[in-house]
Structure 1
């Protein structure tokens, strides 16, 4: 389905329902497609999934910076 920007503003809730049902909704400006409404892909975040895959930072990573390094950062 293709709708104008005005129709999209007026009927946003209905258009979202259409997308949720699997319909393709294109918003056009002056008859030229400008955007497409698509459903959000649900992402699953599993805490701890990187356990054992990353190494801890080296000791010097947490060490205070030298005066020269601080100057380089403009601190």
Structure 2
């Protein structure tokens, strides 16, 4: 984890914030001891992981057999609204 002294953090705060926005965590030190940590508010998004999940869902849908009665999801939703 990258570290920055207080003076360095004060002088380059904007640059540190840009690094944090990209997902880094930065430790602020005073006399070599950690005193604070700057962390992103939201975890970084893993685009490749999301794409893999979508691909897995699409593969699963190919393997799932259609409803034996020939009903669609929309049909089941409409039936549920009637009762």
- Gapped runs of 5+ residues in structure 2? 43-83
CA drift of 1:39 comes to 1.5
Partner secondary structure for residue 35 of structure 1: strand
Q: Give the structure 2 partner of residue 8 of structure 1.
A: 9
Q: Give the structure 1 partner of residue 24 of structure 2.
A: 23
Between the aligned partners of 1:24 and 1:36, the Cα distance in structure 2 is 7
Q: CA RMSD in A?
A: 0.9
CA drift of 1:23 comes to 1.0
Cα-to-partner distance string for 1:17-68 (whole Å, 9 max, x where unaligned): 0001111100000000000001224xxxxxxxxxxxxxxxxxxxxxxxxxxx
CA drift of 1:11 comes to 0.4
Structure with higher helix content:
2
Superposition misfits of 4+ residues, deviation over 2 angstroms: none
Number of aligned pairs? 41
